[in-house]
A = this chain, B = another copy of it.
Amino acid sequence: MTKTPFSFDITGKEKNARAGVFHTPHGDIPTPVFAPVGTQATVKSLTPAQLAETGASLVLSNTYHLYLRPGADLVAEMGSLHEFMQWPQPMLTDSGGFQVFSLSDTRKIDEDGVTFKSHIDGSSHRFTPESSIKVQEQLGADIIMAFDECATPHDLEYNQRAVTRTHNWLKRCVAAKSREDQALFGIVQGGVFGDLRKASAEFVSSMDLPGTAIGGLSVGESKAEMHAMLDLLHPLLPADKPRYLMGVGSPEDLVNGVLRGVDIFDCVLPTRLARHQSAFTPTGRINLMNAGFARDKMPIDDTCNCYACQNFTRAYIRHLVVAKEMLASTLISIHNITFLINLMKNIRQAVMAGNFEQFASSFLQSYKTNRK
């Protein structure tokens, strides 16, 4: 077997929190890292140049969406996903599993795979562990994910079945994988059930993959349950491999995740909030539709170095929101992504300096969470 182009250097530790660098064929990812999501091969409303300006390194794209449109064969014909969307830095694709279970209609799950109908045109399709790996190899991201089943978090029997299936499918994903320049991460499932999570962590760890993902969290369980699962998993996962908490990305979840040993996060939150005029600030979210901002000469966040905050007033952005101008989404997305990227940079620095616990407590105290 060829030497893997992937390695993980841990450069700092403070209790369970870690700082490191994950090396990939498209460059280094300093961790902890937040990955913006480009569902359909574009981080919504941003050019890759604008995205690079936010300081993003790793970008995620969705296998389910790209498989359906424009098709993985087309992306492969264009060179790769990196080439197609012109993101030269590291990329990650998910397996399509989560979207098949959450977005598509009329699915049928069997031991071999999942039959589903496209949310776009109702056409019938089938994913198996083998086909998910094949599609992800056509897309060509640096990090690819095992095809798994994400159960509803509180259903014990469903989680037992899903964990068994996820483990069987992981073995098949490992066997199906043929490219040496992609790192396959296995996924730990098990809902909110400690025994299942433990068994899953042990099985996934035994596969000796270059990274470990934690799936099935932030899907309906409480924050306390999420934290309990992360605390339980911490000693069970390979310490020398990056840990990826899938689909999680609110500022408070990032801080709480790193406190519990997580290295990689992704979420659509910053761009989705932007399309609903909601922007991160150090004291919590603000909604730029609010009339109170109509004559506000401050930027969204006067501590922020992003293009939006360096150039535009809240008054202007509110005008764009009210006038339904596309530029509103672009500017708020630039800010929200930059906010999370800067938060991760500050977290990383704090872990390296050994004062992350203090940073976390101070951040969580001043940042007021908004629940929707």
Contacts and interface: CB of A to CB of B under 8 A. Distances in A.
Interface of A: 40-42, 44-50, 65, 69-70, 74, 77-78, 84-86, 294-295, 297, 307, 311-313, 315-316, 318-320, 322-323, 325-327, 329-331
Contact of A70 (B40, B49, B294, B331): B294
A307 B49 contact: yes
A13 to B, nearest CB: 39
Given A49-B307, A69-B319, A311-B48, A295 B74 contact: yes
20 contacts: A40-B319, A40-B320, A40-B325, A41-B316, A41-B319, A42-B320, A42-B327, A44-B326, A45-B326, A46-B327, A47-B307, A48-B311, A70-B294, A70-B315, A70-B318, A70-B319, A74-B315, A84-B313, A85-B316, A326-B330
Given A69-B319, A316-B84, A322-B69, A294 B74 contact: yes
Please name the 6 residue pairs, one residue from A and one from B, whose CB atoms are nearest each other, closest first. A70-B319, A45-B326, A40-B323, A42-B327, A86-B311, A42-B325
Contacts of A311: 48, 86
Given A74-B315, A315-B74, A325 B47 contact: no
Nearest to A49: B307
Interface centre among A77, A323, A329, by most chain B C-beta atoms within 10 angstroms, is A323
Number of copies: 2
A318 B69 CA distance: 11
Contact of A47 (B77, B85, B294, B331): B331
A43 to B, nearest CB: 9
B86 A312 contact: yes
A297 to B, nearest CB: 7
Contacts of A318: 70
Nearest to A68: B323
Contacts of A326: 44-45, 326, 329-330
Nearest to A46: B327
Contacts of A331: 47
A81 to B, nearest CB: 11
A51 B313 CA distance: 19
Nearest to A327: B42
B47 A330 contact: yes
A130 to B, nearest CB: 26
A41 B41 CA distance: 30
Contacts of A327: 42, 44-47
A18 to B, nearest CB: 35
Given A69-B322, A294-B70, A313 B47 contact: no
Contacts of A42: 320, 325, 327
Contacts of A40: 319-320, 323, 325
Contacts of A312: 86
A12 B325 CA distance: 40
Contacts of A84: 313, 315-316, 319
Contacts of A77: 295
A69 B311 CA distance: 21
A67 to B, nearest CB: 13
Nearest to A48: B311
